[in-house]
Structure 1
Amino acid sequence: MSKTAVLAVVLVGILAVPTSAFLPTIIEKFWPQLQERMFGEVATISYTDLLNDNPSVDTPILNSMKTYGFFYVVDVPEYDASVELNYMNRFFDLPEDVKDELSIKKHNPDNQNAYRGYCPGLDDVEATLQYKNVFNIGPHETRGAYQEKNSALEKLRYDCVEANVWPNTEDCDFDKEFKETFQVGFEFRRNVARAAVRSISRALEYPILPSLFAEDEFSAMGLRRYPVRQQINTNMYSDFDGVLLRELEHVDSTVTVLSTFNNSGLQMLYKNQYRDAPVTGDNSFIVNIGKLVDDIIDNKMTSVRHRVVEVPFSRASITYFLGPAFDADISRSMTGHLTEAGHKYGIFGEWIKDYLGAIELFYY
């Protein structure tokens, strides 16, 4: 008998049993399967088919993104999330003074790295809205020497290619393997995000869409740890339904590739109700788009609102964001309509300037 049939029989049985004490037990037992069935038609796409631009993936991705706002990429060859999780845990368990050598300059003024590196994020449990540690990785390992720029935009262009910083501990093997693991992980996710854009462009017949993402000066991958909260943060209750959260409700901006490492907690808004999203396993990702990209494609998909609820364990995830190229025109949609961003910005580089300012105050 199929899972669906079993659940149907169970539910019929529940309705037939008059004992009220029996109901909570059954619901508790089968609630994970019921929640999973709510997203049972979310597309599950083979990594190989996606990367090879197999047109058979386009319709399932389009339908899933219209209805739910996300889809899964599975069977990623030579990728093992458990290896990433091991190195993440080892990094976040390093002494604070070692990690502080990699802290962004907001947390360690002696450092020059503004966006790439370690972000403690737990300074004041009542003030922060982001109770997590982050290690942020970008696409650049080096950049040229600084030259005086003629405009604020040109200086920003230089700032956006900030080089990565990496652990430099007494364990040389760990340092080397950590760097190599996440350089490879970055490329996996960038490949997925760009292939998703190509699929969307084919499905919607927007052939120039991929050209907006040909460069990714400020793409970013964040290694995140949400520690067990030692006290309740009153700022972290949901305005939507009062639930205590680890990550507040939000909509992303660009293209997102997410790993949850079999951790529960992620919820997606569907039909005005937050529902548990099935987790990603050892070789899979979740993909969704944000508001900026949705506007560019004439709002023909869903930029899904999501959150992370409070869980009684230390939770890990990796979030990768693929943004348009610095000079990409974000003021008009693919059919020429003025986008929401277009009321203020012409190119992505102008938009990222204000976004980075918000990051410094809020995200980090």
Structure 2
Amino acid sequence: MVGVDVAHLPVIDLRKAKGKERPALARQLHEALTTTGFFYLEGVDDRYNAVELKTLSHWFSNLPLQLKMDISKKTFNKNASHNYRGYFPVQPGEPSHKEGFELGPNNCADQKPPTEFAKFFMESNQWPVDPPGVTGEADKFKKVMMEYNDFLGKAGVELLRLVAEGWPKSTHSEFFTELFTPTHLSTFRLLHYPPRDASPPPCAIDGDYVVQCGGHRDSGFFTLVSTFDYPGLQIQLEDGKWLDVPSRPGAMVVNIGILLSRISGGVLKATTHRVVDFGGHRWSAPYFLEPKFDANVNIKLPPLNKNEESGSTERQNYGKWLFKNLIGYEEYRDLAEKWGNIAQ
């Protein structure tokens, strides 16, 4: 059940960032982010293959449930040693009807956590094993996922360079880069939205729609999504109207989060979006670009309005900011009990 009206998003070709067209591309990106806050991204990397990634997503979701639960988070498997990375199952009765597999940056666990609390976020990744009678598929899955995990992160940071270069007031290209070195807390997710086995709960109904992931704005910097040509993604205009976001062959759908919008003084738009149920299975693979745990995210791009208030200059640690934004999600429901005093 999908709306009639369709969003017409601009197309950003990242290949143009390597040549003389880079300044024009930076201006084009700025225009996209000051209007809808969403755009199609092409040329993310020569290795990007949506069909390959979709096949891996199907492979993982079709694994026996026990193999997935073996790498699930402690919230769902009390015997697990990890809390933040790994698998989470569908939660019956919840408005968000999906299962997922989450990875952090490949080198994150190799870095020394700046605090005891940071260890929670800087976990090693969890990997599935082959089902009985199968050899080599899990190794291929790990190899390819690590490649995507790496180049999607680099593409996200390159987009941030373009944001800085396209800012109307002179800004250094590397304005954001220090926030992401030597590692960061970005999350690469494989998501599967299965059909509901029963009538949806009242909390999943919004007017004429059944919602699989309710309306929200992402919290971080950029989200780069492979939609695999599935319908269901919608964005909300300022007047409250919802528009379908059609897929574009070979392109990712990208939007910005609350943090980047805040750093821009609200000039760049973090747009509310959701996923509606179209009656079948749906897969997607979002990459959430997030800075390192101890990054100071209370920074500002040069203000475009001379009357704009600079606000507080007090340092704001990204890890604590992230924690406060996670504890309301079902996948992290045990966080408040263990670390609630940290967020005070």
Cα shift at 1:350 = 2.2
Query: Of residues 255, 278, 281 in structure 2, which corresponds to 1:311?
Result: 278
Larger Rg: 1
User: What amino acid is aligned across from residue 350 of structure 1 in structure 2?
Assistant: K
Paired position in structure 2 for 1:206: 171
Output aligned runs, 1:269-348, within 5 Å. 269-272=236-239, 273-281=241-249, 283-335=250-302, 337-338=310-311, 346-348=316-318
Contact 2:106 2:150 in 1 (8 A): no
1:283-340 deviation line (CA, Å, top 9, x unaligned): 321111111211011111110110111111100001111112222222242347237x
Output aligned runs, 1:92-241, within 5 Å. 92-122=61-91, 125-126=92-93, 128-140=94-106, 143=109, 154-169=115-130, 170=132, 171-204=134-167, 205-207=170-172, 208-231=175-198, 232-238=200-206, 241=207
Q: TM-score, normalised by structure 2?
A: 0.83
Contact 1:116 1:137 in 2 (8 A): yes
Mark the runs of 5 or more structure 2 residues left unpaired by the alignment.
303-308, 336-344
1:103-136 deviation line (CA, Å, top 9, x unaligned): 11111111112111110033xx22x232100000
Query: Of residues 77, 81, 87 in structure 1, which corresponds to 2:50?
Result: 81
Cα shift at 1:268 = 0.8
How many correspondences in the alignment?
A: 316
Q: Distance in 2 between matches of 1:182 and 1:200?
A: 27
1:82-120 deviation line (CA, Å, top 9, x unaligned): 111112111111111111111111111111121111100
Paired position in structure 2 for 1:18: none
Contact 2:99 2:192 in 1 (8 A): yes
Q: Which has the higher contact order (CA 8 A, sep 6+)?
A: 2
Q: TM-score, normalised by structure 1?
A: 0.79
Change (3 A) 1:331 1:159: same
Mark the runs of 5 or more structure 1 residues left unpaired by the alignment.
1-30
Q: Distance in 2 between matches of 1:106 and 1:234?
A: 25
Q: Which one has a larger percent helix, Structure 1 or Structure 2? A: 1
Output the aligned Cα RMSD. 2.7
Change (3 A) 1:142 1:72: closer
Q: Distance in 2 between matches of 1:139 and 1:213?
A: 11
Partner SS, residue 267 of structure 2: coil
Q: Distance in 1 between matches of 2:176 and 2:265?
A: 12
